[in-house]
Amino acid sequence: MCCGVRYTVDGELRPVWNCHCERCRRFTGHHMAASAARSADLRLDAEETLAWYEPAYGVFYGFCRRCGASLFWRTDTRPEAISIAAGTLDQPTGLHTEVAVWVAEAADYHVRAGGLDEYARNSSVPD
């Protein structure tokens, strides 16, 4: 939002997943709508304001410490991948929302749209 963090993805992006887990809700203010890419395909063009928060061992949320924009999510268990907040991608993305995960933790005010495959936990999603 403030251009303190800028990035380029030089590879394929995964379709968007909506994550309703409590941590993602608190990080974004709603649910995390995120694409993902191979970590090797993400190039940070500017990162002077990038900060990482580790709310649980090996789980990291990346954000801009100047404007507060939610940017990335990664985990030590899958270092080859990084999730990217879909709202930070330049339009048009050509992406579509594929699934909703952690719906058991969805906010009580949120009305989920029909037409998406839903999984109570992220670990339930088929590979």
Contact predicate 36/82, CB 8 Å: yes
pLDDT tens per residue across span 27-78 = 999 999 999 999 999 999 999 999 999 999 999 999 999 999 999 999 999 9
In this structure, what token pair is assigned to residue 79?
């270092």
Predicted local distance difference test score (pLDDT) of residue 4: 95
Domains present along the chain, CATH in parentheses:
5-121 (3.90.1590.10)
- List phi, psi (to 5°) of 97: -80, 130
* Pair 87, 29: CB distance under 8 Å: no
Q: Which of 94, 75, 74 is nearest to 85 (CA)?
A: 74
Tens digits of per-residue pLDDT, 73-127? 999 999 999 999 999 999 999 999 999 999 889 898 887 767 677 777 666 666 6
Query: Where are any strands of DSSP class E within 5-125?
Result: 5-9, 16-19, 32-38, 42-47, 50-56, 59-64, 70-75, 81-85, 97-101, 117-119
pTM reported for the whole predicted model: 0.86
Of 19, 3, 23, 127, which Cα lies nearest the Cα of 83? 19
Residue 15's contacts (CB-CB under 8 Å, 6 or more residues apart) are: 35, 95, 96, 97, 98
Summarize pLDDT for 5-25 with one digit per residue, the tens: 999 999 999 999 999 999 999
Q: Do the beta carbons of residue 105 and residue 118 sit within 8 Å?
A: no
- Residue 27 has a pLDDT of 95
Residue 77, token pair as written in the block? 């268990």
